[in-house]
Structure formats: C-alpha cells, structure tokens
Structure 1
Amino acid sequence: MTAMFAIKTFDELTSVDIYHILKARSQVFVVEQNCAYQDMDELDFDCLHLVAHQNESLVGYCRIIPPEYNTLRSNLGVTDDDQLNTAMSAIGRVLVVSAYRGQGLARQIMTQAIAHCRKKYGKKRPIIISAQTYLLSFYQSLGFVPEGDYYLEDSIEHVNMVLRVAKKTKIKKISNTTTSTTSKVLSALLFILVALFILGLLYLMI
C-alpha cells in the first residue's frame, strides 16, 4: 500500500490533525485492546508526530520521543557499547487503522520513523521501544533486540527493545608489498622449473 507521510511537531499539527490522531489512538489502544488507560499524556507536546495518510484519511501513526524527553533506558548499558549509556530516542503509539492492516503499512511507518531518528538524533544513537510482546517478531525483523524481562503495562505484556547500529567489521587488505613478494617468489620457482626442464632435455640429448 502506498501512503503519504508527514512528520510534525505538536505545534505544527492542526486541530483536525489532533482530532484524528487521538481518535485513532483511542480506537486502537483503548477500544480494540479493551484497555482503560490514559492515552493522552504530557509527552505529546514534546514529541514528533508521524502520520500516514491515504486520500486525506489518517491510516497510520506513531510518535517519536526525543532523547531529552525519553525515560526508557537500555538494560545493557553497563556491559555494552558506551553509546547505550546515553539518552536515546523512542518510538511509540505505533498503529494502523484496522481497515488498512495487512498491507505492509506498519513496516513503512517504522521505517520512516527509524530513518527520521537516525537523521535528527544521530546515525549511531540507539532507538528504544516498549513493545507489546505479541509483536516481538515484527520488531525483530526491523533489527530491534529485546532486553530484560517482560512486564505488564496497563495489563498488557511488554518488553523493551533496542535498535543499535551494527558495527562494521574491518577487512584487512593484503598490502602491495605482500602481493609483490608473492609474485617474485612464484616467478623464481617458475624460472627454476623451466631451467630444470631444459637441463633435463640437454642431458637426454648427450
């Protein structure tokens, strides 16, 4: 499915944008999941809001929490790369309106959100999510790794997951000096074999 994406700060959202975002969040996280919880929170004012539209209708959404406002932390910060000890951005409230599911839109939304986090907050800065565990395999397919124990949040099982940038393995190049030396040795061996062959022929002719 092809959708149009827009990312805005809270102040850039129109009253109509806010209405449709909150309506979709309420439909998915409160009504569909039968979970009475406070969806609207103070974080919305500081988040970036990624909205997917098709024919001007909201079909998907997520919000990005900047590092300075995100309270989620990696559990591996003590033993892993020092970058994990720094604050990281978070992606949350990921949803696709029910009529548009099964068309790959959730992956598009996450891909867009990850790309924006990389661009705005740094390519090497990890990204963290609080994932509902039934979506574990989906987030793993995007590169997120589960950390720590499962926990209940509003009576729904969650687990923290972190997306880190894979370290590049440096491949040692064979130096020109080594290549040159190898070529010289092979040439010398070939010369000796040719010389021995000629000497053999001369010996047989005598």
Structure 2
Amino acid sequence: MTCEFSLKTFDELTSVDIYHILKARSQVFVVEQNCPYQDMDELDFDCLHLVAHNNEALVGYCRIIPPEFNRMKSNLSVDNDPRAAAAMPAIGRVLVLAQYRSQGLARQIMTEAIKYCRKKYGKKPIIISAQTYLIDFYQSLGFVPEGAYYLEDGIEHVKMVLNITKKTKVKKQGTDTSKASTILGILLLILSVSFIAGLIYLMI
C-alpha cells in the first residue's frame, strides 16, 4: 500500500488534523486494546507528528519525541559514552488503523520516522517502548531489546534501541590485485631475461 506522509509540529497541525490523530489513537490504544489510559499527555506539544494518508484519510500515525524532551534512557551506554545514551530521540504511539493492516504500512511509517531521526539528530540511537508481541517486527528494523519486560498501563512492554551500525573499513581488492600483478610482471621479466641469457650462452 502506497501512502503519502506528512510531518508536522503540534503548532503546525490544524484542529482537523488533531481530531483525526486523537481519534485514531483512542480507537487503537484505548478501544481495541481495552485499555483505559491517559493517551493525551504534555509531550504531544513538543513532538513531531508523522501521519500516513491514503486519499487524504489518516490510515497510520506515529510521533517522534526529540532528544531534549525524551524521558526514556537506554540501559546500556553507547560506545562506552554515557552521554550518548542520555539524550536520544524516541518514536512512539505507532499505529495503523485496523482496515489498513497487513499491507506493510507499519514498516513504511517506521522507516519514514527513522529516516527523519537520522537526518535531524544524526548519529544518535533511537529508543522505543515496544509492546512485547511486536518484538520480532521491531527487530526486523534493527531495534534490539534492552532489559526486562515491564507493564505499562497493564500491557507488557520492553525497551528497544536502534543503534548506529559502525562501518568497517574494507580493503580495496584492486590495490592487492595491482600489487600482485606488478610482482608477477617482474618475475616474468626476470625469467624471460634468464631464458634469453641461457640461449645466448648456449650459442657461444
């Protein structure tokens, strides 16, 4: 399923946008999951709101929490630098409306959110509080579970972190090949000279 994405700060959202976002969040996290909890929180004002549209209708959503407003911290330091684990962006409230599921939309939403975090916040890990039944899905995107499971509003969750993959330097094969070719050429030259010298010696 192909969607159009919009990414807005809270102030950029229209009243209609906010209505549809809160309606979708209530539908999925409160009604479907039978979990009466306070969905609206003060963080919404500081988040970026990523909406997936199909024919202008909201079909999926997530919010991105900037590092300076994110209260979640990694259990593990990154590259042994505690500062790296202390301030990282988070992705939350990830949802796809029931009638649009099983079409790869959740992966598209997460991919868009990750892409934005990488562009905006650079080489910072990204943290999420994942419902445990979705661990495999988030692992397929590169997230790694951290620590023990915990209950959040009566639903089992686990922290998961997407770290930056270190690039390993690979030796260019071309350099080794050119060196080998040079050595082989020198050896062939020496053999040729030796052969010619041998022939001359036999002819004298």
TM-score scaled to structure 1, two decimals?
Answer: 0.87
Matched with 1:2 is: 2
Matched with 2:43 is: 43
Q: Is the 8 A contact 2:85 2:125 kept in 1?
A: no
What is the identity, as a one-letter code, of the residue corresponding to 1:37?
Y
Task: Describe the SS at the equivalent of 1:84.
Answer: helix
Matched with 1:156 is: 155
* 1:13-28 pair list within 5 angstroms: 13-28=13-28
Question: 1:79-133, CA deviations, whole angstroms, 9 ceiling, x for partnerless residues?
Answer: 64556334011000000000000111111111111111112222x1111100111
Matched with 2:76 is: 76
What is the identity, as a one-letter code, of the residue corresponding to 1:139?
Y
CA change 1:169–1:57 in 2 (3 A) is same
Tell me how far 1:74 sits from its aligned partner: 1.0
Tell me how far 1:70 sits from its aligned partner: 0.3
Higher mean Cα deviation, 195-204 or 96-105?
A: 195-204
Task: Describe the SS at the equivalent of 2:128.
Answer: strand
CA change 1:196–1:84 in 2 (3 A) is same
RMSD: 2.7
Q: Is the 8 A contact 1:83 1:126 kept in 2?
A: no
Correspondent of 1:186 among 184, 187, 197: 184
What is the identity, as a one-letter code, of the residue corresponding to 1:127?
I
CA change 1:138–1:181 in 2 (3 A) is closer
User: 1:12 and 1:174 mapped to 2: Cα distance?
Assistant: 51
User: 2:8 and 2:99 mapped to 1: Cα distance?
Assistant: 24
Matched with 2:132 is: 133
Say whether residues 1:145 and 2:124 are aligned partners: no
* 1:66-105 pair list within 5 angstroms: 66-77=66-77, 80=80, 84-105=84-105
What is the identity, as a one-letter code, of the residue corresponding to 1:19?
Y
Tell me how far 1:173 sits from its aligned partner: 4.9
CA change 1:79–1:202 in 2 (3 A) is closer
Task: Describe the SS at the equivalent of 1:112.
Answer: helix
Tell me how far 1:197 sits from its aligned partner: 3.6
Say whether residues 1:115 and 2:119 are aligned partners: no
Higher mean Cα deviation, 194-203 or 127-136?
A: 194-203
- Deviating beyond 2 angstroms after TM superposition, the runs of 4 or more aligned structure 1 residues are 78-86, 171-176, 178-182, 185-189, 191-206
User: 2:180 and 2:78 mapped to 1: Cα distance?
Assistant: 47
User: 2:191 and 2:24 mapped to 1: Cα distance?
Assistant: 81
Q: Percent identity?
A: 73
Tell me how far 1:187 sits from its aligned partner: 3.6
Task: Describe the SS at the equivalent of 1:50.
Answer: strand
CA change 1:143–1:174 in 2 (3 A) is closer
- Give the number of aligned pairs: 204
TM-score scaled to structure 2, two decimals?
Answer: 0.88
CA change 1:107–1:189 in 2 (3 A) is same
CA change 1:100–1:78 in 2 (3 A) is closer
What is the identity, as a one-letter code, of the residue corresponding to 2:161?
V
